[in-house]
A and B are shown apart, each in its own frame.
Chain A
């Protein structure tokens, strides 16, 4: 179903509960009343069409319309991506960590495996943090700098060096390991961790891993299919029009 601006946000959430964290990222909290998407966005000062596009892309990846999404500014995209990072680090990862901790009580007879799981996840967390840090400290500022350079029609020497030495293309394919490790963990939980009598926390953990996985997939499709091609166009524009050397 294509989500549209005159639908009631409450109906949309009833239709796809997975969108709760997504609207949350835009600053919309549950308890938002009975209004339409458009009305709620206006009251919160949210760009309605951007909100709808992100919502639709998450709801059904087939709706991810590359050409259309690329019309939005990098700033909007980057703001959104930063908020998803925040959601991983502040919410999802601690939640999962906590669940793995609680699995200890189900795994008394196999506390060794429990320890291994904890260790695996804590290294996963470190890797994810490093990955996010790199994007936040290097990639996103670079993207915004490019966009500003075009807006102001001036380009600094240092930006030109960056375009030449670290173009956006050099950041691609970075997500792979972060996603692969998550799949590995799911397989371990489903297939290889020996069965315990009580598996409540293991169920919860699997569910949360699926939620994180879907979110990471959505996040990386927005980066790979929207942000990267858009930035490549900006790079080309700067090199063709603003670099005065030649």
Chain B
């Protein structure tokens, strides 16, 4: 089965975003989820909350926030950051990107590059089935019972950071983010009893 690959584009230029949307259509399962023009507040946070697999950035539109933006995005291990460059882009800008697309290249060439970027990830991905693990189930159960991240961590002798990592994985696998949504899932799968969760649903 083809997994969808969400792309977020950061550019204020319509011709560029339209071009990228057109390009991305050529890769199966890939789609542009959102376009930001680079002036949005808390841009990195907004991007991360949409859980894209790829973020394509047009450097001129973010100017001085480029470097903090890239470094925040790079902290998310699931996000790949791709920069739009030209042969004239200065090294101090282009070097921040793990991957780059050359604006001046032909469509065919760009498709090849994009396929290579997407391909490297496909091979690394081992667990494709979206079933949550035993540990994740345990954490999900406790969240449904109304425990906070900290309380779950204390109860299961984990760090809050680990709980949060698990939680992100659960959300990615199930497509459910809010505690009440997770509680509904837990109830429907008999992980908790309705009487236990009156408050969290």
Contacts and interface: CB of A to CB of B under 8 A. Distances in A.
A188 B201 contact: no
Interface stretch (B82-90, B156-164, B176-184): B176-184
A113 B188 contact: yes
B114 to A, nearest CB: 22
A173 B49 CA distance: 11
Contacts of B177: 180, 183-184
Interface residues of B, number: 23
Q: A-side binding surface: helix, strand, loop or mixed?
A: helix
Given A116-B187, A176-B49, A184 B176 contact: yes
B104 interface: no
Contacts of A188: 176, 181, 184-185, 188
Interface string B182-201: 11110111000010000001
B175 A183 contact: yes
Interface residues of A, number: 28
B3 interface: no
Contacts of B41: 169, 172
Nearest to B17: A62
Q: Pick from B40, B181, B201 the residue with the most CB of A within 10 Å.
A: B181
Contact of B181 (A62, A185, A193, A194): A185
A17 interface: no
B42 A184 contact: no
B201 A119 contact: yes
B201 A120 contact: yes
B107 to A, nearest CB: 21
16 contacts: A62-B17, A112-B194, A116-B188, A119-B201, A120-B184, A169-B41, A176-B49, A180-B177, A183-B177, A184-B178, A184-B180, A188-B176, A192-B174, A192-B188, A224-B40, A225-B40
